[in-house]
Amino acid sequence: MQFFRNKRLFILLIGFIVLVALIGYSFKDRENLTTVEKFINDTVGWTQNVIHTPVTFVTDIVTNIKDFKNTYDENQLLKEQLSQYKSLIYEVQDIEEENEELRDLLGISESVRDYDPIQATVISRSPERWVEQVTINKGEQDGVRSNMVVITAEGMVGKIQSTSEFTSTVQLLTGFDQYNRISATISREDENDIFGMIEGFDEETNSLLFRIIEESEKDLEEGELVVSSELGGEFPAGLPIGTVKEVVSDQYGLTRIAMIDPAADMYDLRNVIVVDRALAEPIESNDEEEDE
Question: pLDDT of 22-46, one tens digit each?
Answer: 666 555 555 565 676 566 666 766 6
In a domain, 21, yes or no: no
> Over the stretch 138-176, which tens digit does the pLDDT of each residue have?
999 999 999 898 999 888 999 999 999 999 999 999 888
In a domain, 246, yes or no: yes
Nearest Cα to Cα of residue 186 among 254, 243, 248, 268:
243
Nearest Cα to Cα of residue 167 among 132, 134, 128:
134
| Sequence-ordered list of residues with C-beta below 8 angstroms from that of 153, at least 6 positions apart, any chain | 101, 104, 105, 107, 108
Q: What is the pLDDT of residue 280?
A: 40
Q: What is the pLDDT of residue 74?
A: 80
Q: With a threshold of 0.75, does the pTM exceed it? A: no
> Over the stretch 229-238, which tens digit does the pLDDT of each residue have?
877 556 778 8
Give the three-class secondary structure for 202.
strand
In a domain, 214, yes or no: yes
In a domain, 95, yes or no: no
Type of residue at 35: T
Query: What is the residue range of 197's domain?
Result: 116-277
CA distance 148 to 274: 7
Indicate if the pLDDT at residue 114 is higher than 70: no
Given pLDDT bands bounded at 50, 70 and 90, which one contains residue 112?
Answer: very low
Of 37 and 280, more confident = 37
**Mean pLDDT in residue range 275-280:** 62
Q: What percent of the chain has pLDDT over 70?
A: 67
Indicate if the pLDDT at residue 283 is higher than 60: no
Indicate if the pLDDT at residue 211 is higher than 80: yes
* Mean pLDDT of the residues in the chain: 76
**Mean pLDDT in residue range 212-227:** 79
Indicate if the pLDDT at residue 69 is higher than 90: no
Q: What is the pLDDT of residue 113?
A: 43
Indicate if the pLDDT at residue 92 is higher than 90: no
Q: Which residues pair with 200 in a beta bridge?
A: none
Nearest Cα to Cα of residue 277 among 144, 180, 134:
144
Of 273 and 26, more confident = 273
**Range ranked top by mean pLDDT from 67-81, 99-113, 203-217:** 203-217
In a domain, 71, yes or no: no
Given pLDDT bands bounded at 50, 70 and 90, which one contains residue 66?
Answer: confident
Q: What is the CATH number of the domain that holds 236?
A: 2.40.10.340
In a domain, 106, yes or no: no
CA distance 9 to 14: 9
**Mean pLDDT in residue range 78-93:** 65
- The count of other CB atoms within 10 Å of the CB of residue 137 is 14
In a domain, 252, yes or no: yes
Please give the radius of gyration of the chain, using alpha carbons only, rounded to the nearest integer. 47
H or E element at residue 117: strand 116-124
Q: What is the pLDDT of residue 288?
A: 43
Total tally of structural domains belonging to the chain? 1
In a domain, 132, yes or no: yes
Of 284 and 114, more confident = 114
Indicate if the pLDDT at residue 290 is higher than 50: no
Query: Cβ(185)–Cβ(194) under 8 Å?
Result: yes
**Mean pLDDT in residue range 244-252:** 82
